[in-house]
A and B are shown apart, each in its own frame.
Chain A
Amino acid sequence: MKIMANDMKHTEGEVMLLKGNEAIAHAAIRCGVDGFFGYPITPQSEIIETLAMLKPWETTGMAVVQAESETASINMVYGAAGAGKRAFTSSSSPGIALMQEGISYMAGCEIPGVVIDVSRGGPGLGTIQPSQADYTQMTRGGGNGDYRCIVLAPSTVQEMADFVPLIFDLAFKYRCVGMILCDGVIGQMMEKCVLPPYQPRWTEEEIRERCPWAATGRPKDRQPNIITSLEQTPEVMEERNLRMQEKYRTIQENETRCETYMTDDAEYIIAAFGISARLAVTAIDELRKEGIKAGLFRPITLWPYPYKELEALCTKQTPNGENMVKGVLCAEINGGQMIEDVRLAIHDAMPIKHFGRMGGVVPEPDEIAEALKNFIGGLNR
């Protein structure tokens, strides 16, 4: 029996049962995106599949193109974005690696675009099963040069839908590449989702107004807009770099997002993002039953990382002047990547340990609870 995914006949605000990947496709059409360019790869193929099924070119006028490769996809996004269009691509880990050149070029040109990574086990072609081993690839970039991308990490299907309009807004606000990093679990699982309301696509006039930098055809009253990442003079290139660094500082100042769970009296913090945060919540509920005061710190923006918020949480004092938090466990589905940012946030103030599985193996909540107990055992020895 074939069950069709839900189509656009659904009423506004209706609760739907969707895969994370499907939610992204629906949300993109609804928030007035102009184009999708992508190449299929598990575990994110439902994004292009859903777009193909919904045929938005017949309704909103959004273009959906299956490119010949990931390299072509990102360069199509580059081209569309250069004209001030709201375009995105999606792929999974090795496909994103192929896109890094285009992402660096877009960053260098300061044009906004969106890249979605539903990550899988690596390195190399790895496995098709879920993994969070793209943390470094997404937050530190794989492309050349001094650039940053805003990275959001959803942990529910609802957030997959909600973060699409958000990441487009952020990318266009700061003229940078916006990314959504999730994993095969959130991409493949179904849960409740209310889709964002419809917004029309920007008209050509609106694009000219909102994106004065875009290559939209030169009117008589200004010089041509040239979009290039190449400069012949180092000093001019440095100038551009300084401007970009200033912009990144502004983003770090204003755009960090995070969430906590049961941290008011927590003595041990589990730091986790994306699906790991949900595994950690179940682990924390179990640990609390055993009298272990555990809490969750979940960064929603992986870049800019919420360093200040984590530091504030970990330096909280008890009434008699002691540090309330005694240690942090980083639960990630990788070999230890976000732990570097946790260290940057809290330095050597307290013990920090990593727990993770790799290669497409998703840990069960019990394993995280056990890891925290072992960590506490080690501290008290």
Chain B
Amino acid sequence: MKTEIIIAGFGGQGVLSMGKILAYSGLMEGKEVTWMPAYGPEQRGGTANVTVVISDKQIASPILSNYDIAIVLNQPSLDKFQARVKPGGILIYDNFGVISPPQRDDISIYRINAMDKAAELKNPKVFNMIVLGGLLKVAPLVTLEGLEKALYKTLPERHHGLIPLNMQAINEGMEIIVKD
């Protein structure tokens, strides 16, 4: 079993962190993982994307042509990666600022209004965790236990107090994701 995922959005949305937590969770469950950011001179507001592969076997290429799952968090990312989801694959998008929603009928499309939810929770920083929750609802790649372990492992101790808030955001995400 091998799952190839692209997460794409604006810099500052937590795209890379989300990928890192996902990869670390896979690692916690004994899986092979790769995390490859498309790095460039961009900062907050520019585009950012990361490719995460989670597999039972050794992973060859960390760079891919097509994906099993695409998580797209803005219109440019949606335009770029919609066509690159494998037939039968999954596309998850946040409709905030999206003018032309995804069109394909050979893949499963899910919408998650994570931007609105984060605003409602008055904590824009948990936006990426809401999206991650949505992903785990439709594709249970890792367990919530593995994910919580990964948070303890990757966050510096002084931020461990924020982990329950992050887990709550993940649960919110699982609630609000809908099939488009």
Check: A281 CB closer than 8 A to any chain B CB: yes
- How far, in angstroms, from A283 to B64 measured CA to CA in the complex? 10
Interface pair B61/A365, CB less than 8 Å apart: yes
- How far, in angstroms, from A192 to B33 measured CA to CA in the complex? 7
- How far, in angstroms, from A189 to B23 measured CA to CA in the complex? 11
Distance (whole angstroms) from the CB of A277 to the closest CB of chain B? 9
Nearest B residue to A7, CB-CB: B156
Interface residues of B in 128-163 (CB under 8 A from A): 128, 154-156, 159
> Are A185 and B36 also in contact (CB < 8 A) when A3-B20, A128-B41 are?
yes
Interface pair A365/B62, CB less than 8 Å apart: no
B27 contacts which chain A residues (CB < 8 A)? Answer: 15, 17, 192
Partner of B37, one of A3, A188, A192, A278: A188
Check: B40 CB closer than 8 A to any chain A CB: yes
- Interface flags for A281-303 (1: CB within 8 Å of B; 0: not) read 11101000000000000000000
> Are A191 and B63 also in contact (CB < 8 A) when A43-B39, A184-B39 are?
no
B41 contacts which chain A residues (CB < 8 A)? Answer: 128
Interface pair B63/A364, CB less than 8 Å apart: yes
Distance (whole angstroms) from the CB of A199 to the closest CB of chain B? 26
Q: How many residues of B contact A (CB 8 A)?
A: 29
Distance (whole angstroms) from the CB of A373 to the closest CB of chain B? 15
Distance (whole angstroms) from the CB of B152 to the closest CB of chain A? 12
Check: A4 CB closer than 8 A to any chain B CB: yes
Check: A366 CB closer than 8 A to any chain B CB: yes
Secondary structure dominating the interface of A: mixed
Partner of B36, one of A3, A188, A285, A366: A188
Interface residues of B in 33-62 (CB under 8 A from A): 33-37, 39-41, 59-62
Interface residues of A in 9-41 (CB under 8 A from B): 15, 17
- How far, in angstroms, from A204 to B32 measured CA to CA in the complex? 42
Nearest B residue to A15, CB-CB: B27
Interface pair B23/A17, CB less than 8 Å apart: yes
Partner of A278, one of B20, B61, B65, B128: B61
* 11 A-B residue pairs with CB within 8 Å: A3-B20, A4-B154, A4-B155, A129-B40, A189-B37, A192-B27, A275-B63, A279-B61, A282-B60, A364-B63, A365-B63
A4, A184, A188, A192: most-surrounded residue (chain B CB, <10 A): A192
Check: B14 CB closer than 8 A to any chain A CB: yes
Q: How many residues of A contact B (CB 8 A)?
A: 28
> Are A281 and B125 also in contact (CB < 8 A) when A128-B40, A129-B39 are?
no
Interface residues of A in 177-193 (CB under 8 A from B): 184-185, 188-192
A-B residue pair count with CB separations less than 8 angstroms = 81
- How far, in angstroms, from A143 to B157 measured CA to CA in the complex? 48
Q: Which 6 A-B pairs have the closest CB atoms?
A: A281-B60, A282-B61, A190-B35, A364-B65, A189-B36, A366-B65
Distance (whole angstroms) from the CB of A340 to the closest CB of chain B? 25
- Interface flags for A310-345 (1: CB within 8 Å of B; 0: not) read 000000000000000000000000000000000000
- How far, in angstroms, from A183 to B154 measured CA to CA in the complex? 25
Distance (whole angstroms) from the CB of A357 to the closest CB of chain B? 11
Check: B24 CB closer than 8 A to any chain A CB: yes
Interface pair A364/B156, CB less than 8 Å apart: no
Distance (whole angstroms) from the CB of B115 to the closest CB of chain A? 17
Interface pair B60/A285, CB less than 8 Å apart: yes
Distance (whole angstroms) from the CB of B86 to the closest CB of chain A? 12
Check: B17 CB closer than 8 A to any chain A CB: yes
Partner of B125, one of A1, A190, A282, A285: A1
- How far, in angstroms, from A176 to B62 measured CA to CA in the complex? 33
> Are A188 and B20 also in contact (CB < 8 A) when A3-B155, A17-B33 are?
no
B21 contacts which chain A residues (CB < 8 A)? Answer: 3
Interface pair A1/B17, CB less than 8 Å apart: yes
Distance (whole angstroms) from the CB of B51 to the closest CB of chain A? 9
